[in-house]
Structure 1
Amino acid sequence: MPYLQFDTDFEILDAAAAGFERAVAELYAEQMDADTSYTAVAIRDDLSIHLGRAEDERTVVLKADIRRGRTDERKRNLALAIMDLVAASFNVPAENQKVVFTEHDGNQMMGSDRVGEDWSETE
């Protein structure tokens, strides 16, 4: 039941946002061995963002709230794959991107029909 929040310092048109959000959900499911039905993706655009190493170009920060249990390697692979998707979709250089993971116990992530469970490789 991840919640992936993208903050950008540039505007993203609704049609581009919808396609990007679906692509992120699919990428998350693939990389994190999950299902897209509970994946939430949001874009908050045209914000003021400061990222120390960023050049004077577009900037994107992803805050990824995920269930605890994935390996560092799995999280790193997801972060790099998402950075590649952001670069291809919105022409944002890698040095102008940041991904921050916050991990939660499964029961801290809830939908109207269920309370999440802890994630495990055998899920």
Structure 2
Amino acid sequence: MPHLQFELNINVSSKKKEQFAQKVRENFSEVMDTGTDHIAISIREYEKYALTIGRANPTDDICLMNLDIREGRTIEKRRELALRYMSIINELFDIQTKNQYITFTQHSGEDFHLIEKYLDGWQSGEDPLC
């Protein structure tokens, strides 16, 4: 059950958040070859100066991403997802890609729990809730 966390120093409308969450799920499912029902997304909004990246100006719009995923995805898959998310954030929120930063944290499947069960290790083409 990935937990995909997005921190922004801008305010975003509910409609854009809905669009964003849909694109995040679709892209995760496509790139990581899994279903969508187990994907958790957090969108957190902060004041302008509450987020920084060393190479950005203090007044720039920023997006920090923490992507907690199960072990087993290649660096190529993680990089593809990172670039897709950066593009989506640039497109929907107009945040420059140079002002975005992504951290992946990988966990064993048993670190992710839903009411039905904890998840197994990742397998290509899976539906983790079956």
- 8 Å CA contact retained: 2:113, 2:119: yes
More deviation, 111-120/73-82: 111-120
The percent of aligned pairs where both chains have the same amino acid is: 32
Counterpart check, 1:24 vs 2:11: no
Dislocated runs of 4+, deviation >2 Å: 120-123
Cα root mean square deviation, aligned:
1.2
| Structure 2 residue matching 1:110: 3-state secondary structure | coil
* 1:119 correspondence with 2:119: no
Which residue does the alignment assign to 2:68? 65
Partner Cα distance (2:26, 2:56) in 1: 28
Q: Which structure 1 residue ranges, 5 or more long, are not aligned?
A: none
TM-score w.r.t. structure 2 length?
Answer: 0.90
1:114 deviation in Å?
A: 1.5
What residue is the counterpart of 1:78 in the other structure? 81
**Aligned counterpart, 2:55:** 53
The two structures have a TM-score, normalised by structure 1, of 0.94
Gaps of 5+ in 2: none
- Please state whether the residue corresponding to 1:75 is helix, strand or coil: helix
What letter corresponds to residue 105 of structure 1 in structure 2? S
